Amino acid sequence: MTALSVAAQPTCESLASLKLPHTSITSATTAPATAAIPAHCAVQAITHPASDSEIKFELWLPISGWNGKYQQIGNGGWAGSVPVGGLAEPVRRGFAAAGTDDGHTGGSGAEWAIGHPEKLIDFGSRAVHETRVQSLAIVQEYYGKDTAHNYFVGCSDGGREALMEAQRFADDFDGIIAGAPANYWTHLLTEGLWYEHALLDDPAGTIPQNKLAAIQKAAVDQCDMLDGVKDGLIEDPRVCHFDPGKIACKGADTAECLTAPQLTALRKIYAGPKNPRTGEQLFPGPSPGVEGVPGTWGSWIIPGPGPQGTSAGFGFANTFYLQALYENLKPDFRVLNFDSDVAYADEKAAAVLNSNSPDLRSFRARGGKLIQYHGWGDAAIAPQNSINYYEMVRAFMAKYPNGRTGSQGPVDDFYRLFMVPGMGHCNGGIGPNVFGNGGTVAGAKSDPERDIVTALDRWVEKNVAPDHFIGTGKVVGDPAKVLTRPLCAYPKVARYKGSGDINDAASFSCLAP
């Protein structure tokens, strides 16, 4: 069957009677075309791979113009709903597209995990894998042919899911995009707990939101020129050894300075969580340079005003420890510590939730391609975590090079990491933070330099690896102007050539740091 003769394929509604293992299709309806979304068959289903599993997923099948491929969308946070909003763009591009609720309803916390260990397994890995298995069976039934290629695209928890697929289900997807992965879940959630202690143990150390702009300005003033150009961005924050003591209050406490207890708290935040007994670094701290940008520190790290002020980081930390781990047996964060409680988190949940195994040999051996990206301005998941994981993989693959089909090539042949200056958690922030992944750049759908999904597809189909992307954004301090910048494959970074418009990507080269 070629370009999908509708007459030769089953009707959308007939899919409701399709029999699948431990799975019920609850709805199959034709959704007419709108200005934003092509006509498609929307299939809703529930699968029960374990006795306490109830995994909901939704699959959209283009009525016409199917490109022969499948794209699955990842979740965010604790999941708890099918990410249907993410299905529209893949369908516009011609993909059959699916997503899952990860096996539970409600994503504000982890109360669903109390007394339900199977649901934690569903969230950890089983829901994504089962959705892929059942969705491809429906795709085959509807179109009468198997998919040519299968892709997974996710950020945050979806990035954790993406790496989980590459590590544990190497045959599921030909190409994977892992954005800002929460892959070291048990220690990432320790990070939020660390911030909570740093800012709230001593009330005098709590940093108010109105001081974040001064912190950012001081960091940028110190480190902006390290990349050779003054543009309000820190290209590689690893070389920025910011000293917040430069804005210590020398007189009255104002929004432009930090008191001694606030400086202590800030230094703890930058340092990241450590085991007080062993000194082990449990998770990296955030990078300097975006502290006052909306959606970064003010949302994820610094509590809001008032005695009940909290942050998203606090919320995830508490729901993980107090609900998923201790199942409401411990009262609040103050009784949790960074030695025995972190060890318990690893013992109980690491094998279920973490996707930080460096062994990608099977994924590489079967020809899989993996693109990972992370914003240097991410306050939800410290960006250094992505570099740490990439380096772990590179070291492991060098030590144990044999996959299922024998010796393989270098890691860059199948896995590339891109760090994005100024970008927040998955998107937003400042600087060149737009590079497709949704067609948000004009012409992105056909430009692999500006769209990450197009680049992945080309890598899988033609073995042309992405060396860089062209990120687009607004000039810092002058939002009426457009900025473009190369986003280089790690470990390369963008360096100014010495002449040309500093807001034009053509004025920069990707060079080794």
Which residues are identified as catalytic?
Answer: 156, 378, 425
H helix runs in 156-273, sequence order: 157-168, 185-200, 212-223, 260-271
- Own/partner contacts of 434-438, CB < 8 Å, gap of 24 or more, are 434/471, 434/472, 434/473, 435/469, 435/470, 435/471, 435/472, 435/487, 436/469, 437/153, 437/177, 437/179, 438/89
CA distance 223 to 14: 61
Tokens at 273, concatenated: 């969580």
What residue ranges in 366-410 does DSSP mark as E strands?
A: 369-375, 402-403, 406-407
Count other Cβ atoms within 10 Å, centred on residue 482.
Answer: 13
CA distance 92 to 427: 21
CA distance 260 to 205: 8
Q: Which residues share a beta bridge with 179?
A: 155, 373
Tokens 């979740």 — which residue? Answer: 75
CA distance 39 to 257: 56
- 44 CB contacts (<8 Å, ≥6 apart)? 25, 26, 27, 28, 56, 57, 58
CA distance 131 to 60: 13
- Own/partner contacts of 218-221, CB < 8 Å, gap of 24 or more, are 218/242, 218/244, 218/246, 218/247, 219/244, 219/288, 219/289, 219/291, 220/289
In this structure, what DSSP letter does residue 32 have? P
- 449 CB contacts (<8 Å, ≥6 apart)? 455, 468, 469, 470
